[in-house]
Amino acid sequence: MIKTVGILGGGQLGRMLAQAGRPLGLDFIFLDPAADACAAEWGDHIQADWSDEAALSELGQRSDVATFDFENIPDDSARLVESLCPVYPAPSALFASQDRLREKTLLQELEIPVAPFVPVSSRPELMAAVEKIGLPGVLKTRRFGYDGKGQAVLRLDEDMERAWQKLGDYKLIYEAFVPFDTECSIIAARGRDGLCVYWPLTHNLHRDGILAISRAPAFSAGTQQRAEALIGKLLEHLDYTGVMALELFMADGELLANEFAPRVHNSGHWTIDAANTSQFENHLRAICGMALGNTNNATRALMFNLLGEMPDHGGESSNQYPATGVYWHDYHKTARQGRKIGHVTVTAQSDTGLRARSSQLAAYLGVAAELNLESVL
């Protein structure tokens, strides 16, 4: 019987996993280099570098099963833990996601549509890539980029040198720019027995490369089925256990894959308050060998990411924001410009109610002008 879950990473995703796991009777141990890891108050915290073999061994020895809360953990570290206890998703899935060239090649091999791409390791190769794929395009680091970091959009020939000066010290990939109509993501969980469940395809809106809002449900049954088929190929190929997110573009009615995350995902935070079973609970159910929970929506939902510092939400005054159907999540992280420090989810039984509550909350948060809610609602 599984009692203790080890988590490589102690950020907000680890924190929310622990919050979902306590009602299941689970205890948690986190390994994270940060002294102020926000998940630490929900379990034991081993403060150590990812390369600390003694600390990794301690985590593996004290855990009945282990997982991770972000994909930039060295896969060698995950494999060391795996030698001492089961790790889900498997380190092979982590490895596949950590390099954009490796990731895009895998998607292409599985016949999951992606934008054209080529590897770049020199100025001449960048010039050849632009010649082959054309402009506009996006030059990205193959590793460690997230939330818009590690990339540059090239629209004109003169952008090449600027982008090379910024990113030329890294292994790179050049991708065609996708003139998408919509950004979306499909999140799924696969159990140890191979059973898969899917949450509604989520409509996402980004600002400056960072997720700003997510809404679900938002798409037709046919589009939902196509998205499930795409992520299903990945889950099956990787013999995956746990929750995975596949980020997608919709362009001219077609879905193109951008990247996948072998973990719980920011665009699925709304599931805590608006789905019968959250992504966090089902991830734990999957890796612990439990039956997966129902993923149907209990209500309609729209989630706002909160950046920088938490707004004042001590009173529930309907004159400022809706008094019901609004759920605040504070990650207990130190305030910092651009940092994800929480989220708030708006729920309603109807699209009309969701639109009204979301618009009122956006005004309260001061983001109504910069976020085009109509494009999502």
**pLDDT score of 148:** 61
Does 317 have pLDDT greater than 70?
A: no
Tell me whether residue 342 is in a domain. yes
Q: Is there a single domain that holds both residue 77 and residue 208?
A: no
Tell me whether residue 331 is in a domain. yes
Q: Is there a single domain that holds both residue 150 and residue 210?
A: no
**pLDDT score of 314:** 61
Q: Which amino acid is at 346?
A: V
Q: Is there a single domain that holds both residue 219 and residue 75?
A: no
User: What's 134's domain CATH number?
Assistant: 3.30.1490.20
pTM exceeding 0.75: yes
Tell me whether residue 95 is in a domain. no
- Report helix, strand or coil for 110: coil
Residue 331 belongs to domain spanning: 182-375
User: What's 43's domain CATH number?
Assistant: 3.40.50.20
Q: Is there a single domain that holds both residue 172 and residue 186?
A: no
Question: How far is Cα 347 from Cα 349, in angstroms, rounded to an integer?
Answer: 7
Read off the pLDDT of residues 5-24 as tens digits, 9 standing for 90 and up. Answer: 999 999 999 999 999 999 99
Q: What is the mean pLDDT of residues 300-315?
A: 88
Query: How crowded is residue 208: how many other Cβ atoms within 10 Å of its Cβ?
Result: 9
Does 316 have pLDDT greater than 70?
A: no
Read off the pLDDT of residues 103-140 as tens digits, 9 standing for 90 and up. Answer: 999 999 999 999 999 999 999 999 999 999 999 999 99
Q: What are phi and psi of 269, to 5 degrees?
A: -65, -25
Read off the pLDDT of residues 162-208 as tens digits, 9 standing for 90 and up. Answer: 999 999 889 999 999 999 999 999 999 999 999 999 999 999 999 98
More reliable by pLDDT, 322 or 218: 218
Pair of tokens at residue 9: 């990473």
User: What's 354's domain CATH number?
Assistant: 3.30.470.20
**pLDDT score of 150:** 85
